[in-house]
Chains A and B, each alone.
Chain A
Amino acid sequence: MATKEEPLLKVNNIEVIYEHVILVLKGVSLNVYEGQIASLLGANGAGKSTTLKAISNLVKAERGEVTKGTVEFDGKRVDRLFAPALVKMGVIQIMEGRHTFEHLTVEDDLLTGAYTRGRDKKGTKEALEKVYTYFPRLKERRNAKTGYISGGEMQMCAIGRGLMAKPRIMLLDEPSMGLAPLLVEEIFEIIVKLNKEEKVGMLLAEQNAAMALEYAEYGYVMENGRVVLDGDAETLSDNADVKEFYLGLTAVGKKSYRDVKHYHRRKRWLA
């Protein structure tokens, strides 16, 4: 994107080390602009989740640390802040695997998302109504324990909970994980709607590259703890390597499994 304005979120060459020894991110840089949907693609273990956690500072809760580089949000350096402080600023991570609070009802679960609003009862109530208009399913299930609702509803609950905290940017970690294709589409539609109507920036970590590139404006491809490729969603979708390795297409079209044995194409970015 040829935007001249300063990015809302600016990740500058960060390195993350877990337990003081395990080097997971080896210099990741990316930008997310106000109201943009950016996606972070890559296979298992590429470092997508860690990148998101480094931004939201949840790495610290897993004994990880940002050892080099900086994270800036809205012009301020945030990589030394405590995770709840970032939530207060509007940086909200929706964790992978739908971490709802299983003993809480859907409504209570959503209300925990408003914790950083303090005693603002009116704002909390309005936010709750808003979440219910985006996710009517949650309203129907409001008194069910989140441990007993379906996977799709859990994901909606997790996103709705994030919405309660006045987000300016949401870091979504694999929202499509383990969901039926139809539900994935529904969730992505809502993400786009939130982005348009609530002006929430989105950074989307996804293995489902086809889906992510369809909905995002910009994409970053990660491998082995590095960003190896980035570009507009269309440019990336046209890239031969991305097609081959992430979208399962070749120059001739859909790949046949008969050809797998003769798999010789090298990734050009790993010289």
Chain B
Amino acid sequence: MAFFFEVLITGLMVGIMYSLIALGFALIFKASDVFNMAQGAMSLFAGLALVGFLHQYMHLPLWLALLCTVGVMTIWAYVIVFVVLKPLVNRPPLMLFMATFGVMYLMEGIGQSIYGTQAKGLNIGIPDNSFEVAGIFMSSFDLFFAGVAAVLVAGLIWFFQKTRNGRALRAVSDDHEAALSVGIPLLKAWYLTWIIAGIVATVAGVAWGTRLGVQFSLSYIAFKALPVLIIGGLDSIPGANRPLFQALRSVRKRDS
């Protein structure tokens, strides 16, 4: 029985790591009806940028490096919305979807040219000790990111439910034209969404990068988060954080 709970808890932790990525998908899908293929690439690029600021090119303190990484993701958000998506407003969603493919390759390519192709270690000083609670082994690293994910989701829910801009973003996701008719500028709303998605991608990039090393397969780990999306709902922010399915998945995997 203890083994069952141990696997369950570990599964939940891994699920939370996936849900960090799923959150980014859900955000963008909600605001613009686009399935963002570049979500994984965004996490990758954020990871690469952080390594660049922290170890590779500069040796900034962690908080500054994180801030700079978020800055880089904001620039990406601007480029994606105002250069790539702007000409495609009011085109079928499929076109925007294809455009995000392009963004994915662009991010991977630029990432490779700047930071090189080899896998890089990322150490942000979170200890990865395992300890035992009531006969169940847990990792402090997993717990830390579970906490970060919880804070992030709570923050996003608060933002979307209670603030004026959050309300505007929800309005945009329901009906673009009606949102425009009440005076909500569509592109500005999208820009805000992509910035938030960039921040979420940064957190996911840091979590996965620290665990696996920052490498190009990060770009595809995103697609393993798809089951979370299907179960939790493609347009649901609380839903994206339902890691139970992932937990069950890992239980089954280890039993067989």
Contact = CB atoms under 8 A, between A and B. Distances in A.
Given A61-B177, A62-B90, A95-B177, A165 B170 contact: no
Interface string A152-165: 00000000011001
Nearest to B183: A87
Contact of A84 (B90, B175, B178, B185): B185
Contacts of B184: 84, 112, 115
A104 to B, nearest CB: 6
Contacts of B183: 83-84, 87-88, 115-116, 165
Given A62-B90, A63-B90, A115-B164, A93 B181 contact: yes
B134 interface: no
B133 interface: no
Contact of B182 (A61, A63, A165): A165
Nearest to A82: B185
A112 to B, nearest CB: 4
A112 B168 contact: yes
Interface in B157-195: 164, 167-168, 170-171, 173-186
A21 to B, nearest CB: 16
Interface in A93-151: 93-95, 99-104, 108-109, 111-116, 119
Interface string B64-81: 000000000000000000
Contact of B181 (A82, A99, A114): A99
A75 to B, nearest CB: 21
Given A101-B174, A102-B174, A103-B174, A112 B167 contact: yes
Contacts of A165: 182-183
Nearest to B186: A61
A8 interface: no
A115 B186 CA distance: 13
A63 to B, nearest CB: 6
A61 B172 CA distance: 13
Interface residues of B, number: 21
A95 B178 contact: yes
A99 B175 contact: yes
Nearest to A97: B178
A99 B89 CA distance: 19
B170 to A, nearest CB: 6
Contacts of A56: 181
Residue of B167, B173, B178, B186 with most chain A CB atoms under a 10 A cut-off? B178
A61 B185 CA distance: 11
* Most chain A beta-carbon neighbours within 10 Å: one of B168, B173, B183: B183
A115 B181 contact: no
Residue among B177, B182, B186 having the largest count of chain A Cβ atoms under 10 Å: B182
Nearest to B175: A99
A92 interface: yes
Contacts of A210: none
A30 interface: no
A104 B184 CA distance: 15
Nearest to B178: A99
A119 B167 CA distance: 13
Given A87-B182, A116-B183, A58 B170 contact: no
A101 B175 contact: yes
Contacts of B186: 61
Interface of B: 89-90, 164, 167-168, 170-171, 173-186
21 contacts: A56-B181, A61-B176, A61-B186, A62-B177, A84-B183, A87-B182, A88-B183, A92-B182, A93-B181, A95-B177, A101-B171, A102-B174, A111-B164, A112-B167, A112-B168, A112-B179, A112-B184, A115-B168, A115-B184, A161-B182, A165-B183
Interface of A: 56, 58, 61-63, 82-84, 87-88, 92-95, 99-104, 108-109, 111-116, 119, 161-162, 165
